[in-house]
Chain A
């Protein structure tokens, strides 16, 4: 799932067949940046990744993950 400006660019959900070896959030970011050049900065720099409702680091393993959400900067209040 994608939110905010990123969701507006690409749609709220993208479903991809990932190349083999896409086993961490960092590698997923690289794949997505290549697949969606208009959102390279979003995937490589501006977003936080979230798996199973927890913010995760770039070395988080994707094995078993049902999906990854990307959060642009938050802005409440």
Chain B
């Protein structure tokens, strides 16, 4: 299982990420991708200037790797690629890119969902919304925790 993860300090190119992922594949028959994008509106409704993703100097990359490797092993995928932004992210820019490839679609869908549900609650980031009417730190919602819990063994 090929696992690639990295923490991007600046905006990354989704087409290039997909192309790099696809070109690495040998036997997969299904590819699933997910892109999380910074919204134009804050949770509270105000117009969003952007997000700030604070990261840990060491543990953020460790957490990305750990989540991606677990997703890949659990669902028997050929490859998984996770790219996550840090720093200031303007609305409309990608925050996270997850790609998985497996022999059949189900494993690829499930691996992608699993990875995203864990990234929302366990990736080592602290997320702040910077809106025109003020800033607010964001925490995982109850739904995020429930989404994560459904994968518990």
Contact = CB atoms under 8 A, between A and B. Distances in A.
Interface of A: 3-5, 7-8, 50, 53, 69, 71-77
Name the 6 nearest CB pairs between A and B, nearest first. Answer: A76-B123, A4-B126, A5-B137, A77-B120, A77-B119, A75-B127
B119 A3 contact: no
Interface residues of B, number: 26
Contacts of A75: 120-121, 125-127, 137-140
A53 B59 contact: yes
13 contacts: A3-B126, A4-B126, A4-B128, A5-B126, A5-B128, A53-B59, A74-B123, A75-B127, A75-B138, A75-B140, A76-B124, A77-B96, A77-B120
A77 B54 contact: no
Nearest to A72: B126
Contacts of B123: 74, 76-77
B75 to A, nearest CB: 18
B137 A74 contact: no
Given A4-B137, A5-B137, A8-B137, A74 B58 contact: no
Interface of B: 36, 53-54, 56, 58-59, 62-63, 84, 95-96, 116, 119-128, 137-140
Contacts of A3: 54, 56, 126
Contacts of A8: 128, 137
A69 B59 CA distance: 12
A18 B63 CA distance: 31
A9 to B, nearest CB: 10
A73 B140 contact: yes
Nearest to A3: B126
Contacts of B95: 77
B122 A73 contact: no
A76 B127 contact: yes
B137 A72 contact: yes
Contacts of A76: 53, 63, 84, 96, 119-125, 127
